[in-house]
Amino acid sequence: MYPTIKRNTFYNITVNYKKAAVETRGNFSLTIANQMLLLADAKQQKIDLFVLSTCNRTEIYGFAKHPYELINLLCKYSNGTVETFSEIATIYKAKEAVNHLFRISAGLESQILGDYEIVGQLKLAFKQAKKIGTTNTFIERLFSLVLRASKEVKNHTKLSSGTTSVSYAAIQYIKKHCTDYDTKNILVYGLGKMGMHTCKNLKAYTNNNTIKIINRSEDKVEQFVENHPDFTKALYKDLTLEISKASILIVSTSADKVIITEKHIDKNKTMLILDLSMPENVDPALKNNKNITLVNVDALSKVTDETLDYRKKEIPKADQIIEKYMQEFYEWINHRKFVPAVSALKHSLETIQHDAIDFAKKKNKTLHVEDAELVTSKMIQKITTKFVQHLKENDISMNQSINVMRSVFDVDIKVYDTEN
């Protein structure tokens, strides 16, 4: 009986803003710690993948026999369920998954069109996977081309022109809906990347000099305030007190649950709360308080202006750039399509080589092993070269070449499918 061909197809599974409201997709959000646990689990199962989790989406890209392998990992390390996933998620396969990754990196799938912050998040996702050891040659080549395409879209189109992101939209919302916003007390809770972007946008687009920052890690605030003296540090232990002094509260922490509740808020005080976190960090029940205006990332993403309308005209240019790099990726794939069969052939011949040399040493004690290895290695190289030449000249498909190998040698061949 011939060994089974181990065929793994490239899949993308995604829970994002298109089908899932912030409350629902928050259940599928993955903390950094859980991302690392998921990657370690995948490595143990010999599944090559990387994980992306942002305020707008949670996605897994990877090679699997069936997408359920990826879905199971996602649900295991998040608060989501398979039942809910089947209702609100999207699964892309092979070329569709490849195309989706290119579009993500270019900002074409961002909740705010052209939001370029996704590139940094993708780089982090890939870096984590590579460190754990869940990438492979195909993922690394694809990711390299994805970043090149993204850079070209950024530099040669106006898809990301102007300043439009969730953090920017938050400031625009304040300016549009708050009178005297330059004199109101603003408290920013959380100083991750989103919090830092928000602080910088507050400084760039308002003249407010009463902005306080609070964070669980106070050293981080001290360092930020040292470099940005226009902001004031507040102590984490005084969180409730500082909230009582603020007219505008911006929450952007990495917590995986609600951390701002009714007990933190004076129910008789008028306040605007912007929750930029995923999952939500502010109790949605606060919306029931007529004095509180609570706005989440989905509401902020609806902030539209001439910038977005202008960006939409750049989509065809971005699509052309993506198509160019996708073609380059599949040309690379085409050059490598016989690699599994050739590698299997070479491995089998080397096994025969070692067995033959070991047998010859027992028969001839004066055998020069180095000379024997040199001669037989050259023979292996000539045979594999001839084999590749034969496959190319006769236009033999990868499946046919694999079947040849299975017919001649007792080998397992792992195939990565990114096309079908």
Active site residues per annotation: 55
Which sign does the torsion angle of CA 250, 255, 258, 260 carry? negative
Q: What is the rounded distance in angstroms from the CA atom of residue 6 to the CA atom of residue 352?
A: 23
Count of C-beta atoms within a 10 Å radius of residue 87? 10
Count of C-beta atoms within a 10 Å radius of residue 319? 17
CA dihedral (145, 151, 156, 157) in degrees, to 10, reads 100
**Residue 406: strand, helix, or coil:** helix
Judge residue 110's burial from the number of C-beta atoms within 10 Å of its C-beta, 0-12 exposed, 13-18 middle, 19 or more buried. Answer: buried
Cα dist from 247 to 110, 188, 292, whole Å: 30, 11, 10
**Contacts (Cβ under 8 Å, ≥6 apart) of 337:** 398
Q: What is the rounded distance in angstroms from the CA atom of residue 387 to the CA atom of residue 165?
A: 53
Cα dist from 324 to 10, 184, 192, 248, 395, whole Å: 20, 50, 35, 46, 25
- Whole-angstrom Cα Rg for the chain: 28
Question: 186-189 and 211-214 as β-strands: parallel, antiparallel, unpaired?
Answer: parallel
Closest CA to 154 of 192, 118, 128: 118
Closest CA to 419 of 395, 398, 389, 392: 398
Secondary structure (DSSP) of 342-396? HHHHHHHHHHHHHHHHHHHHHH-TT--HHHHHHHHHHHHHHHHHHHHHHHHHTT-
Q: What is the rounded distance in angstroms from the CA atom of residue 64 to the CA atom of residue 48?
A: 8
Q: What is the rounded distance in angstroms from the CA atom of residue 172 to the CA atom of residue 365?
A: 84
Residue with tokens 């992101």: 165
What is the separation, in whole angstroms, between the first and last Cα of the chain? 27
